[in-house]
A and B are shown apart, each in its own frame.
Chain A
Amino acid sequence: MNPIACASGVDLLMDFLEGVLPAELTAALEHHVAGCPRCAAFVASYQATPRILRDATAVALPPEVETSLKAFLSARTTAFKESKPS
């Protein structure tokens, strides 16, 4: 089994979490993280990052944007229909 250091382990994280890392490297990475509190902590923050960003950027549709979308589509779809031969 190839020994893994923290730096080389970090490079493998995405493939590991997506399940596409070869079995030998998966075993080596799991072995390293199990014995390395720093890597365990790093992996936790690496995995938490998407959720934190997802929650922080989950904006709601502003009412004024919804109103202008409705007006825009009403005008454009009407024009679209009028331009088509009946």
Chain B
Amino acid sequence: MSTSVPAAEPSDEILAARAAAGDDAAFEAIVRRYQARVYRLACRLTSDTEAPDVLQDTFLQVYGHLSSFRGDSLFSTWLYRIATNAGLMYRRTRARRPAESLDAYLPRFDDDGRHVGTPAELQVASNADDLLDRQFLASQARAAIEKLPDLYREAFVLRDLEEMSTAYVADALGIEPATVRQRVHRARLMVRGYLSELVGVKP
């Protein structure tokens, strides 16, 4: 009895080499493999309306620079870096909006530095996804990210939502790892407070 064993999918690096040599099918395979991830990143860094442009720009740049991919890093890291830069560029060329104060979402302490809320109130944000309608939470999550100051938003999206390492984010944003941690921390405090308010509890 003969059984056919499905051929293993070619690695990213093999596809990249073929695409760089002019194999269109290989490039299309790369696009299919990464388009959903790049789109998701673009939505988080920019918006639903800008994400299709970021997606197109990313893969056009990937195509144009395939021959410069040297394999010093994983192909996925290289591609993701291009996508990140494309998203940041879109974000930064957008007209800056006046900064909105998010202090109301920060945790509150009494004069002795103790949390004002009860343990149940302080923990409630952990259950936001159980307590809130899924679609409502999705729209509010986007609103919360959109409210963040740009510097916090970039760091929060890359570190906490895309789960890149702090070192990678520092490199991508051109800042120190300690600054990444500080910005992610501030963003996380604000978003946590926003979730608390959504379920009816002061942060």
Contacts and interface: CB of A to CB of B under 8 A. Distances in A.
Interface of A: 5-8, 10, 13-15, 18, 20, 37-42, 44-46, 48-50, 52-61, 65-66, 68-70, 72-73, 76-77, 80-81
A5 B113 contact: yes
Contacts of B77: none
B122 A73 contact: no
Contacts of B124: 45
Contacts of B125: 45, 48-49, 52
Nearest to B191: A49
A80 B62 CA distance: 13
B39 A65 contact: yes
Interface residues of B, number: 60
Given A7-B113, A53-B161, A56-B138, A46 B188 contact: yes
Given A6-B115, A65-B55, A77-B27, A57 B142 contact: yes
B17 interface: no
A45 B192 contact: yes
8 contacts: A5-B113, A20-B181, A39-B115, A49-B195, A50-B160, A54-B163, A59-B48, A61-B35
